[in-house]
Structure 1
């Protein structure tokens, strides 16, 4: 283990130890006491780290707003990443301290009541410039709970002792096919120690995971930093740990360049710790485990293996120039069959509209009569059968422009956005979830009750966060990036309707 890696494990451990001890007491007492089911109200917030305006940032924000997500809270606006990283690389690193700053402010006892978050309120953070939402908030929230439920069943099955299981999952990150970055980046992610994906072993046929360098044929099992979702308290503890690691590395002169590598290292530590906890009480020969065994590295952290919340487009291209996923009409089974046959998938796996989507309220019901999910272009993966809530264009970024008119929402975008931007006092929650310990109702913060424009995180949340207009976040940062006479609304709406107001 690197000397620097070993050293930065030691940071602020007493705070972590007391925090985890409290968390474990909560787990164990809740399991033993079997509390009565009750209805809970929780807030749900969307956080986007963005430093400057762009039509691509606008696409992320308007797809969220048009599908009924909370108005985004933008962190890190206007900062120079080099002031934090101390070198020319690591452009995304400020995401970590910026997110901690927001959570500390929103959870502070003196936070404005319209902005305040409690421990169990839910926080979704997504990348700013290459993310499109395609399914409404209630579907994402239901899937979040289902993914955690399945993960916690697996953790319980892996624990063969009489004492309560000391692991659980509340935080989910997106998953990818490649363990990135490698240790020479300054982050030791323990890639070889991470658990296998629960997806079928022959996901890409008999050659699945046979070639270590052919990442396209690997099942997603590694962290991708494009999407994180979890309770505010747990997220703050996780990202405080990541911020400590990041600061330690930068102070040692390490040129950290990957934001996802740092939470990825925390995930790797957690897995080594979990493996040690499951092991019998024999002498531990593993040097990594020996170092970790006296500490508590349980962060309730896991991955969206099935890519139900977010699908990553990187490593989805084949040697023949085909792609694992596409925007398709799910009622058009013959087109799905043709895509699948070209990819060598037999029998065809993707069959029509997934049940949870079919039973969800269709967002087009607000602007047209009798919409049909199966007649709406949705991005789907023909191997995993995933129709995700979010499409993350971390590969083939040119599609942010060339594919922008493909999704179902595009031709209705202005109407959908106008409908959801209208001020109104919500009578219904964003989602109602039936969980094992009772129902949960998720609400947006009251800060957006009468004004749903995005908000900028400043120095604190003791007052309402500043509202920001679309012109300020959607404009081209550099006029050379746009055609003469074009404006941001020409690219975002493509309907000759002028600016949005």
Structure 2
């Protein structure tokens, strides 16, 4: 009788405890393990180096309006571990063709590619309307996971500036999301009888504002692109029209692909309704991962204490970069503060401030690159005035911030 009573007591105590443990484990691992691996700041594990290039001229970067959005782009890059390279800094013209010419000249230059490996990745992004939210290691790993790809650009829903009813737009390759197990993510957009719904339209056209590829492939591609844009064959005025031709007709040696799943790049025009901001299992600094526990040192971590990142609600992806292309520039200010590296949360301000204070950019000059501290480049950002009312020390003289 006594033994039976003890067994019942033990059962009454142990079963709820096991259920609680399982609940906590489930809560903390509710993301797909592949997603967690893809997001984590793990050692590079043999992935190639990535060199980030921004086309930007000094006059625009220092203008009253331009400096605000440009420095937000810089903050996202620097806090997430990138060292941006600025090119066309002394160029007066803002013409789109100068972006192609400038990058082509750099990739052709032994001076500017000294120390680069041919398999290093070259990532070119627009400088005034992009938020980077993940690290170079994640970008490199995701690109290599695509396999046999020469050059990859973003996939968007709008076919611009080419004729939407012409061959280049109408015959652009279909997205793989159109068929197979993911077909239910979007309604088919080839039904002439249904009204147009931009939220449900598949991205299948190319956006030239974010482009990545191996150095050897990008060098060839941008030479081919430049020659094509100067030829009598091309009647357009910017690089994106040429990118559209390259995607549909593939007229050159280098193959152009697009990131249909938005794992690398997300162009927001006609798709911004599909973004959600969520606390994400992604420590900004691996050395601080242990601090993501509650004051009781429990294994349970409330999701709102995780860093906030942008998720695509259709595909479940967390893009490396958000591109506010087209007429959605107001979202740059509306969404600023949502992502962890732009927030004013005490939990993240120390690492944001530290990385910005130590951050630098490289400016392309004829002799190579000139280094400039981020604080000199962007002296008017709010982060330089940061003072946390909750800031204390950890007993060793190091600053730590207490979370809200």
Per-residue deviation, 1:390: 1.1
Of 66, 75, 79, which residue of structure 2 is paired with 1:66? 79
Question: Match for residue 295 of structure 2?
Answer: none
Question: Match for residue 474 of structure 1?
Answer: 378
Could you tell me whether the CA contact under 8 Å between 2:153 and 2:257 is conserved in 1? yes
Question: Match for residue 443 of structure 1?
Answer: none
Alpha-carbon distance in 2 for matches of 1:222, 1:239: 19
1:237 aligns with 2:223: no
Per-residue deviation, 1:205: 4.8
Q: Secondary structure at the match of 2:155?
A: strand
1:363 aligns with 2:284: yes
Residue-pair matches, total: 317
Report the TM-score when normalising by structure 1. 0.56
Question: Match for residue 459 of structure 1?
Answer: 366
Question: Match for residue 181 of structure 1?
Answer: 161
Alpha-carbon distance in 1 for matches of 2:385, 2:177: 39
Per-residue deviation, 1:62: 1.8
For residues 139 and 223 of structure 1, do their structure 2 counterparts lie closer, same or farther at Cα, with a shift above 3 Å needed? same
For residues 453 and 312 of structure 1, do their structure 2 counterparts lie closer, same or farther at Cα, with a shift above 3 Å needed? same
Over the aligned positions, Cα root-mean-square deviation in angstroms equals 3.2
Of 297, 313, 320, which residue of structure 2 is paired with 1:382? 313
1:304 aligns with 2:236: no
Question: Match for residue 100 of structure 1?
Answer: 104
Alpha-carbon distance in 1 for matches of 2:93, 2:167: 23
Per-residue deviation, 1:311: 1.1
Of 336, 340, 351, which residue of structure 2 is paired with 1:416? 351
Could you tell me whether the CA contact under 8 Å between 2:48 and 2:140 is conserved in 1? no
For residues 316 and 373 of structure 1, do their structure 2 counterparts lie closer, same or farther at Cα, with a shift above 3 Å needed? farther
Could you tell me whether the CA contact under 8 Å between 1:189 and 1:266 is conserved in 2? no
Matches within 5 A, 1:439-454: 453-454=360-361
For residues 80 and 214 of structure 1, do their structure 2 counterparts lie closer, same or farther at Cα, with a shift above 3 Å needed? farther
Per-residue deviation, 1:422: 7.6
List alignment gaps of at least 5 residues for structure 2. Answer: 1-44, 62-66, 293-300, 389-404
List alignment gaps of at least 5 residues for structure 1. Answer: 1-38, 83-90, 150-167, 271-291, 318-322, 331-357, 424-451, 476-487
Alpha-carbon distance in 1 for matches of 2:91, 2:105: 14
Per-residue deviation, 1:420: 4.0
Alpha-carbon distance in 1 for matches of 2:240, 2:177: 23
Question: Match for residue 264 of structure 1?
Answer: 244
Per-residue deviation, 1:117: 2.4
Could you tell me whether the CA contact under 8 Å between 1:178 and 1:215 is conserved in 2? no
Could you tell me whether the CA contact under 8 Å between 1:174 and 1:224 is conserved in 2? yes
Alpha-carbon distance in 2 for matches of 1:121, 1:189: 35
Alpha-carbon distance in 2 for matches of 1:267, 1:239: 14
Larger RCO (CA under 8 A, 6+ residues apart): 1
Could you tell me whether the CA contact under 8 Å between 1:169 and 1:302 is conserved in 2? yes
Per-residue deviation, 1:209: 4.2
Question: Match for residue 47 of structure 1?
Answer: 53
